[in-house]
Structure 1
Amino acid sequence: MATVTDGQSRSAGKGPGGANSALAAALKEAGCSYASLALRVNELGRRQGVDSNYDKASVTRWLQGQQPRGTTPELIAAVLSGRLGRAVSPADLGFHSDQGRPVSGRALVYGEDVAETLHTLAELGSTDISRRSLLGSVPFVAAALTNPQREWLLLLLEQQEAFRPTGVASGGPVEQVHAMIAMFDQMDNHYGGGGVRTSIVHYLSTEVVPMLQRRGTPPQPQRQLYAAAARLAAMAGWSSYDAGEYGLAQRYMTQGLRLCAEGRDRVLGGQILAGLSHLATNLGRPDEGVALARAGVATAKGAGSPLGLMRLYAMAARGHAAQGHSREASEALRLAEGQLDMSRGPDQESVWVRYLDHHYLQAEAALCFRDLGLAAQAERTASESLSANADRRRRQAISRSVLATAHLQQDRLDEAVGTATEALDTLGTVHSERSIQALRDFRTRLEPRRHEPMVQEFERRSRAVLGAVA
């Protein structure tokens, strides 16, 4: 974990008087005290792997013109974005940009010019792979989720006739890209996103983006290529999410949604919104998770994909459950089950959602039941998910963690620790931060039983994978 201190600040090239008037104005508008800003920056940084100890004196120095090093300007912008209810960048707050920062800000925006989107994706991928400016530490910015939703839904309303489903072209570049997507999917399911992430990013930014930048491709194949590129960008987002790089996940998914507009693919657009919903809910913003899922439902309705709608209703249920809204979560799960019943099978569905099935819904429902404290239902659905997904190691690891929590909620400590130990063993072959977080959730729930020898032994064994107990 990187450590940042006040001593690492440097002069920022002061303007008249040296004061940072832009930061002062934002603090005043947000009604945010110096101490509160410092505290929130420290908390957000720790959640994203940066250990800092800023205080109100630090904020005073920023207002006097000093510039924090590393990713602290992005953290300050993320905190104030949340307080203001709109996205603000470090530049908006009077901070100079170091190398690599401009693309991290541009990638949060759903841009009008698709040529600029392609340029942004290529630069983001290049910077990501080379790891310049610690790009992986850029923060998740909940306030920046509003712009992509709004722009996407407005386009959908304005150009409804253009959003008609098309088949996948046979032969040529589109078929090649789909073959690569299938390979990446298989590797992701087997080993987790952390093991395949760099390959996805490299292929998207160095192979597929240049294909889209070439002139002369006929309109129909071009649309299909844009849709395939959007899927790859979403996969780059998911694999970044799985690697614990949440800010990158948000940026790749946002740019993927913009490419999807060029591909005119409503089913895929809904699935990208489902991914953003999952990200928001798991990062402590289930209200945004529900809003994104609802935007996805509005997108996918009438697109002929019950399985796509099933996933979106499941994401809405996850957001409601995380907020403790039992009635709303139950209704969303009921709607998800209804869409699953309506599906005529994967062969009749979009290629993007054919992996979704009854067992997927069971796994998501188990997480909802866990969060709502419905232990018996969580145990049943997690057990069914385990028996049906023997070849999906990440889902196995997550479902085992949920099952362990269900046992603990029913005061069956021996079974809980035994099941959690099996989940820990599974994590030895899966590079998945989502799986790790599910097991950390279980470990946190062990706190009242920490005096038990078997709990102490589990905590000792898990330390290498889950980190030290907070």
Structure 2
Amino acid sequence: MTEGQPRNPGRGTAGANKALAAAIGDAGCSYASLALRVNELGRRQGTESSYDKASVTRWLNGQQPRANTPELIAAVLSERLGRPVSPTDLGFLPDPQRPVVGRALVYREDLADTLHTLAELGSTDISRRSLLGAVPFVASALMNPQREWLLWLVESPESARLDPVTAGGPVEQVHAMIGMFDQMDNHFGGGGVRTSIVHYLCTEVVPMLQRRGTPPHQQRLLFAAAARLAAMAGWSSYDAGEYGLAQRYMTQALRLCAEGRDRVLGGQILAGLSHLATNLGRPDEGVALARAGIATAKGSGSPLGLMRLYAMSARGYAAQNRAGETAEALRLAEQQLAASRGAAQESAWVRFLDHHYLQAESALCFRDLGLGAQAERTAGESVVANEGRRRRQAISRSVLATAHLQQNRLDEAIGTATEALSTLGSVHSERSVQALRDFRKRLVPSRHEPLVQEFEHKSRPVLGAVA
């Protein structure tokens, strides 16, 4: 159904959308502010629109918005109302291909339902991409998984320390695949490996979890491995610019992690959701998710896992320009890094974390706080250290370019940004692209400079037109 088509042609004026009108009234927002926020949220998720108060009037008169706009309207009103509402709650026609998109936002107690939802989400994602359409990130839906996970954390006994690598059987097989996907992701970005991860998770691993007769020890480790894969599906979706899918895979990963009783991994999944929320303009939620992760990982014997979570809280604070809280969170991250006895003594899920990871995240914090000299030092060290990790190097180069710009060194900034642009040619990573777009936005005051105009022209094929 397209924009301008009545929701129910046979109802005439009776087709007015009373449910939407009631929700807008309860939210206390004007038509213009609703339209503006829908446009803004859509742009963050790769959808360009120019709705205005007249568009809202048409929706109220019974017209069905196009594409994923009903989900965006629901996301905006959920924010304003402080509770989740769905497109069907707002009187929009349900899309028969999208029910799983709503179910996948929920952390469910019923394990069989979780596995069915994950398998259906993956199947829809892979084989019916054109029908799935753009799936929006819904900030208000982050409350449910946080609450359910924290309740599980309070009610469940301490998890035992198990070594998944020596478990043998299907667990060892799944870990081998995780290692291969990790290597591909580091070299080529999530966009290049995403479909393979989703396919393996939903066609091979979920059926393993549904089989009966697996010994409890093996079953628990298998659930933890599946949770890691689902989180990887989330991260790779994030890297491909599929932010709504990223949120849904990570939410389901958290539920699988409870079955695996793995607190280190649970903390890392919450770190991923925190990263997603902060980068999509909800740093308050990013901090809340990081704090939930810190509560999860404390006492788990994983200083590196805690280091990452404190770094994520620092990112959220920096995005809110809260310099004191940022500095304290980074101090605590450094403290946890120093407390680690080395990667070999840590969980397999966090062995990739090291001093260079913290440098890169610190550089982003300093950039957001406008601390150019500190951002230059840490981003520069990250560029040198991450030569083999193209995505991380591309992001750090973009941050380094911004640091030069913050210190009024335009020539160096453009030169470094041009190097970042060349790196992007071999990395399928929307996160890397967004980091360079952030730099380009900061060039607006200097757009009259020939050097800037040349960079904008050169970057347009990769970064798109200047907004």
Q: For the superposition of Structure 1 and Structure 2, which TM-score range results when normalised by the shorter chain? A: over 0.9
Deviation of 1:126 after TM superposition, in Å, equals 0.7
Residues 345 and 141 of structure 1, relative CA distance in 2, 3 Å threshold:
same
For residues 352-431 of structure 1, what are the structure 2 equivalents within 5 Å? 352-431=349-428
What residue is the counterpart of 1:93 in the other structure? 90
What residue is the counterpart of 2:460 in the other structure? 463
Deviation of 1:62 after TM superposition, in Å, equals 2.7
Post-superposition CA distance 1:107-163 (Å, at most 9, x none):
1111111111111111110111123454351111111101100000011101133x3
Aligned counterparts of 1:114 and 1:370: Cα–Cα separation in 2: 42
Deviation of 1:386 after TM superposition, in Å, equals 1.2
What residue is the counterpart of 1:195 in the other structure? 192
Match of 1:326 among 319, 323, 326: 323
Contact 1:276 1:289 survives alignment (8 Å): yes
2:70 is the counterpart of 1:77: no
2:161 is the counterpart of 1:165: yes
Aligned counterparts of 1:15 and 1:188: Cα–Cα separation in 2: 53
What residue is the counterpart of 1:42 in the other structure? 39
Aligned counterparts of 2:441 and 2:315: Cα–Cα separation in 1: 20
Aligned counterparts of 2:150 and 2:9: Cα–Cα separation in 1: 40
2:105 is the counterpart of 1:105: no
The residue type equivalent to 2:175 in the other structure is H
What secondary structure, in the 3-state scheme, does the structure 2 residue paired with 1:210 have? helix
Deviation of 1:90 after TM superposition, in Å, equals 1.2
Aligned counterparts of 1:9 and 1:248: Cα–Cα separation in 2: 29
What residue is the counterpart of 2:218 in the other structure? 221
Contact 2:44 2:280 survives alignment (8 Å): no
Contact 1:394 1:430 survives alignment (8 Å): yes
What residue is the counterpart of 2:450 in the other structure? 453
The residue type equivalent to 1:164 in the other structure is A
TM-score (norm 1): 0.96
Contact 1:12 1:67 survives alignment (8 Å): no
Aligned counterparts of 1:373 and 1:380: Cα–Cα separation in 2: 13
Aligned counterparts of 1:99 and 1:90: Cα–Cα separation in 2: 13
Post-superposition CA distance 1:294-319 (Å, at most 9, x none):
00000000000000000000000000
Residues 39 and 215 of structure 1, relative CA distance in 2, 3 Å threshold:
same
Match of 2:177 among 177, 180, 184: 180
Aligned counterparts of 1:430 and 1:401: Cα–Cα separation in 2: 14
Deviation of 1:165 after TM superposition, in Å, equals 2.6
The residue type equivalent to 2:151 in the other structure is L
Moved more, 86-95 or 237-246: 86-95
Residues 447 and 118 of structure 1, relative CA distance in 2, 3 Å threshold:
same
Contact 1:9 1:68 survives alignment (8 Å): no
TM-score (norm 2): 0.96
What secondary structure, in the 3-state scheme, does the structure 2 residue paired with 1:52 have? coil
What residue is the counterpart of 1:153 in the other structure? 150
Report sequence identity in percent: 81
What secondary structure, in the 3-state scheme, does the structure 1 residue paired with 2:167 have? coil
Residues 191 and 215 of structure 1, relative CA distance in 2, 3 Å threshold:
same
What secondary structure, in the 3-state scheme, does the structure 2 residue paired with 1:160 have? coil
Aligned counterparts of 1:180 and 1:79: Cα–Cα separation in 2: 39
Aligned counterparts of 1:12 and 1:400: Cα–Cα separation in 2: 54
Residues 89 and 14 of structure 1, relative CA distance in 2, 3 Å threshold:
farther
Deviation of 1:226 after TM superposition, in Å, equals 0.6
Aligned counterparts of 1:330 and 1:155: Cα–Cα separation in 2: 31
Aligned counterparts of 1:56 and 1:134: Cα–Cα separation in 2: 29
What secondary structure, in the 3-state scheme, does the structure 1 residue paired with 2:24 have? helix
Contact 2:6 2:62 survives alignment (8 Å): no
Unaligned runs of 5+ in 1: none
What residue is the counterpart of 1:304 in the other structure? 301
What residue is the counterpart of 1:208 in the other structure? 205
Post-superposition CA distance 1:221-276 (Å, at most 9, x none):
11111111100110000000000110111010001001101110000000000000
Moved more, 351-360 or 40-49: 40-49
The residue type equivalent to 1:153 in the other structure is L
Aligned counterparts of 2:9 and 2:49: Cα–Cα separation in 1: 20
2:333 is the counterpart of 1:336: yes
What secondary structure, in the 3-state scheme, does the structure 2 residue paired with 1:314 have? helix
The residue type equivalent to 2:162 in the other structure is T
What residue is the counterpart of 1:277 in the other structure? 274
